Amino acid sequence: MTEIFVARSADMPEGARNTVESEGRQIGVVRAKGKLHAFLNICPHQGGPVCDGLLIHRVEEVIAADKTYQGMRFSETDLHIVCPWHGWEFNVETGRCAGDGKHGLKRFQTVERDGAIYVVI
Protein backbone atom coordinates (compact mmCIF):
# COMPACT_ATOMS: atom_id res chain seq x y z
CA MET A 1 0.00 0.00 0.00
CA THR A 2 1.11 3.52 -0.78
CA GLU A 3 0.36 6.73 1.09
CA ILE A 4 -0.33 9.78 -1.08
CA PHE A 5 0.06 13.20 0.53
CA VAL A 6 -3.22 15.15 0.52
CA ALA A 7 -2.62 18.29 2.56
CA ARG A 8 -1.27 19.65 5.79
CA SER A 9 -3.80 19.10 8.57
CA ALA A 10 -3.96 22.82 9.23
CA ASP A 11 -5.06 23.38 5.64
CA MET A 12 -8.03 21.03 5.93
CA PRO A 13 -10.35 22.25 8.69
CA GLU A 14 -13.88 20.93 9.12
CA GLY A 15 -15.73 21.01 5.78
CA ALA A 16 -12.59 21.42 3.69
CA ARG A 17 -11.71 19.08 0.87
CA ASN A 18 -8.91 18.36 -1.52
CA THR A 19 -8.48 16.15 -4.56
CA VAL A 20 -5.28 14.27 -5.32
CA GLU A 21 -4.25 12.28 -8.36
CA SER A 22 -2.44 9.00 -8.37
CA GLU A 23 -1.93 6.51 -11.16
CA GLY A 24 -4.52 8.23 -13.32
CA ARG A 25 -7.17 8.27 -10.59
CA GLN A 26 -8.58 11.26 -8.78
CA ILE A 27 -9.38 10.77 -5.11
CA GLY A 28 -11.37 13.34 -3.19
CA VAL A 29 -10.76 13.80 0.53
CA VAL A 30 -13.11 15.71 2.81
CA ARG A 31 -13.03 16.40 6.53
CA ALA A 32 -16.60 16.14 7.71
CA LYS A 33 -18.08 15.59 11.15
CA GLY A 34 -14.57 15.50 12.57
CA LYS A 35 -13.33 12.65 10.38
CA LEU A 36 -11.54 12.29 7.07
CA HIS A 37 -13.33 10.55 4.21
CA ALA A 38 -11.76 9.66 0.87
CA PHE A 39 -13.58 8.58 -2.28
CA LEU A 40 -12.72 7.82 -5.87
CA ASN A 41 -13.86 10.89 -7.78
CA ILE A 42 -16.11 8.89 -10.09
CA CYS A 43 -19.87 8.80 -9.59
CA PRO A 44 -21.40 5.32 -9.98
CA HIS A 45 -24.24 6.84 -12.04
CA GLN A 46 -22.45 8.06 -15.16
CA GLY A 47 -18.93 8.82 -13.99
CA GLY A 48 -19.29 12.45 -12.90
CA PRO A 49 -16.76 14.14 -10.60
CA VAL A 50 -18.78 13.45 -7.48
CA CYS A 51 -16.16 14.76 -5.05
CA ASP A 52 -16.44 18.21 -6.61
CA GLY A 53 -20.10 18.40 -5.62
CA LEU A 54 -21.90 20.36 -2.98
CA LEU A 55 -21.73 19.25 0.65
CA ILE A 56 -25.18 19.62 2.15
CA HIS A 57 -27.18 18.07 4.94
CA ARG A 58 -29.84 15.58 3.89
CA VAL A 59 -33.25 17.10 3.29
CA GLU A 60 -35.89 15.31 5.32
CA GLU A 61 -39.65 15.61 5.46
CA VAL A 62 -41.28 16.44 8.75
CA ILE A 63 -44.43 14.49 9.61
CA ALA A 64 -46.31 15.38 12.79
CA ALA A 65 -47.69 12.83 15.22
CA ASP A 66 -51.11 13.24 13.61
CA LYS A 67 -49.53 12.30 10.26
CA THR A 68 -49.87 15.80 8.77
CA TYR A 69 -47.10 17.08 6.59
CA GLN A 70 -45.13 19.87 8.24
CA GLY A 71 -42.64 20.68 5.50
CA MET A 72 -38.97 19.95 5.05
CA ARG A 73 -35.82 20.63 6.99
CA PHE A 74 -32.12 19.85 6.82
CA SER A 75 -30.98 16.85 8.84
CA GLU A 76 -28.81 17.68 11.82
CA THR A 77 -26.87 14.44 11.44
CA ASP A 78 -26.63 13.20 7.84
CA LEU A 79 -24.25 15.06 5.56
CA HIS A 80 -24.36 14.35 1.83
CA ILE A 81 -22.14 15.06 -1.12
CA VAL A 82 -24.13 15.83 -4.27
CA CYS A 83 -22.75 14.82 -7.66
CA PRO A 84 -22.64 17.95 -9.83
CA TRP A 85 -23.78 16.16 -12.98
CA HIS A 86 -27.26 14.82 -12.10
CA GLY A 87 -27.64 15.30 -8.36
CA TRP A 88 -27.20 11.82 -6.96
CA GLU A 89 -26.50 12.18 -3.26
CA PHE A 90 -24.12 10.12 -1.17
CA ASN A 91 -23.76 9.92 2.59
CA VAL A 92 -20.32 11.28 3.41
CA GLU A 93 -19.81 8.88 6.32
CA THR A 94 -20.79 5.70 4.47
CA GLY A 95 -20.37 6.56 0.79
CA ARG A 96 -23.78 4.95 0.14
CA CYS A 97 -26.20 6.53 -2.32
CA ALA A 98 -29.08 8.18 -0.49
CA GLY A 99 -31.61 7.30 -3.19
CA ASP A 100 -30.54 3.70 -3.71
CA GLY A 101 -28.24 2.11 -1.17
CA LYS A 102 -27.05 -0.56 -3.57
CA HIS A 103 -24.90 2.13 -5.19
CA GLY A 104 -21.95 3.63 -3.41
CA LEU A 105 -18.67 5.43 -3.79
CA LYS A 106 -15.35 3.62 -3.70
CA ARG A 107 -13.74 4.50 -0.42
CA PHE A 108 -10.10 4.79 0.55
CA GLN A 109 -8.44 4.74 3.94
CA THR A 110 -6.90 7.95 5.22
CA VAL A 111 -4.08 8.56 7.67
CA GLU A 112 -3.41 11.74 9.63
CA ARG A 113 0.07 11.81 11.08
CA ASP A 114 2.52 14.49 12.19
CA GLY A 115 0.34 17.32 10.92
CA ALA A 116 -0.25 15.84 7.49
CA ILE A 117 -3.04 13.92 5.77
CA TYR A 118 -2.50 10.97 3.45
CA VAL A 119 -4.76 8.71 1.48
CA VAL A 120 -3.83 5.05 1.29
CA ILE A 121 -4.08 3.38 -2.12
Measure Cα distances from 44 to 15, 47, 90, 100, 118 in Å: 23, 6, 10, 11, 24
CB of 43 to ligand FES, least distance (A): 3
Under the criterion CB under 6 A, does residue 88 sit at the interface with ligand FES?
A: yes
Binding region for ligand FES (CB under 6 A) out of 9-17, 38-46, 68-76, 106-114: 38-46
Candidate segments 8-16, 40-48, 69-77, 113-121, binder of ligand FES by CB under 6 A: 40-48
Instruction: Decide: helix, strand or coil at residue 26.
Output: strand
Report helix, strand and coil shares of the chain as percent, to nearest 5.
Answer: 5, 55, 40
Does 81 sit near ligand FES (CB under 6 A)? no
Beta carbon of residue 42, minimum distance to ligand FES (angstroms, whole number):
9
Q: What SS3 class is residue 12?
A: coil
